[in-house]
Amino acid sequence: MIKVTVMYPYTEGARFDHAYYRDRHMPMVKARLGSACAYYTVEKGLAGRAPGSPPAFVAMCAFICDSAESYLAASQEHGAEIRGDIANYTDIVPVVQLSEVVVERSDR
């Protein structure tokens, strides 16, 4: 199992429309990824570790997928549409990481 994390670094004055991201962009991406993506999560950064500091990332999402190959094939097929929608919610360049999920749930 893999996790694809997309992180939007906090930048003073940058634009990020959380409602659009949550309600329109992410469901569209999930639909395009189809069965390559089991589920996704969305996070909104609140603060950094120090009191009153900004978050390291204004937003993050994660796609949980069976394999890197299935994710990469699906995202490549629809990449232009997915990337083209980014301007509708932000002017931040995202940071992307693919990781192997070693522990999915710690309560098991």
Q: Where are the alpha helices (DSSP H) in 6-61?
A: 18-20, 26-33
Beta bridge partners of 44: 59
CA 67, 81, 89: angle at the middle one, nearest 5?
100
Phi, psi of 76 (to 5 degrees): -70, -40
Does 3.40.50.2300 match the CATH number of domain 2-52+68-100? no
| pLDDT bracket for residue 106 (50, 70, 90) | confident
| pLDDT bracket for residue 5 (50, 70, 90) | very high
| pLDDT bracket for residue 69 (50, 70, 90) | very high
Q: Any idea what DSSP says for residue 88?
A: G
Query: Which tokens hold the place of 52?
Result: 């009153």
Mean pLDDT of 2-26: 97
Query: What integer pLDDT is reported at residue 107 of this predicted model?
Result: 82
pLDDT in tens, 27-58: 999 999 999 999 999 999 999 999 899 999 99
Q: Which residues contact 57 (CB under 8 A, 6 or more apart)?
A: 7, 8, 9, 10, 43, 45
